[in-house]
Each structure stands twice: as C-alpha cells, then as structure tokens.
Chain A
C-alpha cells in the first residue's frame, strides 16, 4: 500500500515536472499533473482486476487521451500540451532499462523478454491514444459538416 501511494505521488509530481520542463502555463500545470495521476490510478485499478499489464496500459492511455481532449476543448488549448505530461507515466522506461541491462550482461532470453514487453507497452499506449484521436477527429469533421449544412 505504501509503495502504491509513493507511486501515485510520483505519478503526480513527474508530469508536473514535465509540464514545467516544457514551459506549460501555470494554470495548466495542475490539470496536466492530475492527468498523470488519473493515468496511474486507472492502470493500477485495471491491473488489479485483469492481472496482466498490456490491457491496463491500453485502457489507461485511452482514458488519459479522453481526459486531455475534453479538457483541451473546454480550455481552448491544443490537446498535446495536456496529453504529453499525463501520458509520461505510461512510458515503458523500466522495461527499456531492463532490456539494455540484459543486453549488456549477455542475457539473450532476458533481453528478448524485456524488449518485447517494451514494444508491447509502447504499442498499447500508441494504439490507445490513436483510437481516441481517431474518434475525436471523425466526430469533429462530422460536426463541422453538420454545421456547414445548417448554414
């Protein structure tokens, strides 16, 4: 439980730091950090139920992308600036390091295992974000078409 609380705290401060690093406006730092926290909460909640890690990764990136897109429309800012800090907690940094480490120590099986996991996590995040973006792009075009027809 203590480990999870520490993880959630760092899932808040990490994206906050990324927001500062990328010179995000002060008023948007908290939403970006909350996005990172939401990402991690969803990941932990789903992985508790499901057991494996790829599906939780996919779902948490979808939820974070929806959060960023909706908030971006309300605040009238580009969605990228809210999404990037929030999605950073899904980055497979640990797996990438273990892949590197296995390669250095000559553990071929380990390198393959962690390498494929890294690729799977990265793909899950990319697919999750892409599905949400595709939905919002299509919905936006349909709404524009309807609006033009009404005019």
Chain B
C-alpha cells in the first residue's frame, strides 16, 4: 500500500513537471489541463482534477485502492518559450496516452516518464536565440518602412538586447521593471547613436527592436485561454501582457523624449 502511494506521488510529481514545462514553453492553459488530465487517466487513475493558471498548477488524482494524491506547483514568472520543447512534450504525451501504462507498485512507469522529461530539462540554446533575434529585428525594421541600413542597425542592437535579457533580468523584481529599464536604455542608445552619426533612422530601428520585446505570445494565448473557457487565466495573462507593453512604451518614450 505504501509502495503504491509512493509510486502515485512520484507519478504526480512527473505530471506536474510535464505541466510546468508545457506552460513555460508557451502552451495555453487548456492544452496543459487537457494533456495532464489525459495522462492521468491513461495511467489508470479513477479521477483526475487539474487546475491551471499561469502561475500555478494544482492536481489531484485518485487511484484504485482509494489512493488519493494532491500536489501544487508554483510556476516561475519568466517563461522561456521553446516551441521545439512544446512540440516534443505534446508528442510525448500522445505516446504516453497511447501506451495506456499504469502506475505499478515499483513506480517504474513513473520513472520512464521522468527519464523522458529529464531530456528536455535543459538550458536554452543561446545561439538560436541570438540568430533569431538578429533576423527578427533586421527584418521588421525593414518591414516597417526602414532602409537596409536601418535593418542592419536594428540587427546590431539585437544581440545586446538578448545579452541584457539573459544577464540582467534575474536581478529585476519583476518584468515591468526589466522592460522599462531595457527599453529606456536601448532606446536611449539608439536615439543617441542615430543623432550623432546620422547613419540610420532611430524610429525604424526602435520599431524593429521593439518586436523582440513585445509579449506577442502572451497576448495571443490570453485570447485563446478566454475562448477556451479559462477566463481567469486569460484575463490574468492579458492584464500582465498589457502592463508589460505599457512598461515598454514608457521606457521608449522616456528615451525618445531625452535623446531624440
């Protein structure tokens, strides 16, 4: 009995790991709830209750033999979107559910899921991040009416913004502070360099670099969460995204007012 309870607790821990990784990778709330519920049922649970908001996951599962386990997981506030991980976790959950595996007394099935998840608990690929940021900022600076030089200038600032994000964000108490400081500092740098050198237009470069910081995925997922019936999560995410966007705007406005 004790071994079965321990196996159930271990399995639920792995399920919450899965949920945390899904949420941090950019999944919407409904996807996380559905995935965890399906995996719980596929493991042999008689009832599964999952409640997800953007900052927390709560799960209760009841297994045969009146074994009921409940765990809560606090989700870190700074997700690092990773679509490759999201796709892989989605596939893993499909394969797991198709296997119809049950929690055994020795907890071995929990171990298998844990091992599979361990593979994805890795650090972000920074090379891709830098390359992607250069392409995004350069392309969007041109897209918004800039010249090739404006695109190159925006692309030149992108790695600096990424470096600043990776090194400085952890010292900020929240994303609002970070976005205000980041947009102000880089807005100031862009405006001053533009004014001093005259090589590029500061407005197009800022438009391009702004695309790197705008919380687009959060905004999109907030709409999706509301549509799917997770109104609380959707409104939380939307409010958060709008506040972050406001912080960005204030930072850039301050920089333009000072330097342009």
Contacts and interface: CB of A to CB of B under 8 A. Distances in A.
A94 interface: yes
A25 B83 contact: yes
Interface in A101-146: 101, 103-104, 126, 129-130, 133-134, 137
B193 interface: no
Interface stretch (B13-21, B39-47, B70-78, B122-130): B122-130
Interface string A1-20: 00000110111011011111
B257 A104 contact: yes
B157 to A, nearest CB: 14
A17 B223 contact: no
B90 interface: yes
Interface string B133-152: 11111111011110000010
Interface string B57-91: 00000000000000000000000011111110011
Contacts of B249: 96, 99-100
Interface in B217-260: 217, 220-221, 223-224, 227-228, 249, 252-253, 256-257, 260
A54 interface: no
A110 to B, nearest CB: 14
B207 A21 contact: no
B87 A126 contact: no
Contacts of A87: 216, 220
Contact of A96 (B86, B128, B133, B210): B210
B211 A16 contact: no
Contacts of A94: 144-145, 207
Interface in A21-39: 21-25, 28
Contact of B84 (A24, A93, A137): A24
Interface residues of A, number: 44
A71 B156 CA distance: 34
Q: Describe B's contact surface by its main secondary structure.
A: helix
Given A81-B83, A130-B227, A88 B216 contact: yes
A83 interface: yes
Contacts of B227: 130, 133-134, 137
A91 interface: yes
Given A78-B86, A87-B220, A94-B145, A23 B207 contact: no
B211 A88 contact: yes
B132 A81 contact: no
A90 to B, nearest CB: 10
B207 A84 contact: no
A77 interface: yes
A80 B26 contact: yes
14 contacts: A6-B142, A10-B140, A20-B131, A21-B128, A22-B81, A80-B28, A80-B86, A84-B216, A91-B214, A93-B144, A97-B252, A104-B256, A104-B260, A129-B223
Interface of B: 26-28, 31, 81-87, 90-91, 94, 124-125, 128-129, 131-140, 142-145, 151, 203, 206-207, 210-212, 214, 216-217, 220-221, 223-224, 227-228, 249, 252-253, 256-257, 260
Interface of A: 6-7, 9-11, 13-14, 16-25, 28, 76-78, 80-81, 83-84, 87-89, 91, 93-94, 96-97, 99-101, 103-104, 126, 129-130, 133-134, 137
Given A84-B217, A97-B206, A101-B203, 19 more contacts: A6-B142, A10-B139, A14-B136, A17-B139, A21-B129, A21-B212, A22-B81, A23-B85, A23-B124, A80-B217, A80-B220, A84-B26, A88-B140, A93-B211, A94-B144, A96-B210, A99-B249, A104-B260, A134-B227
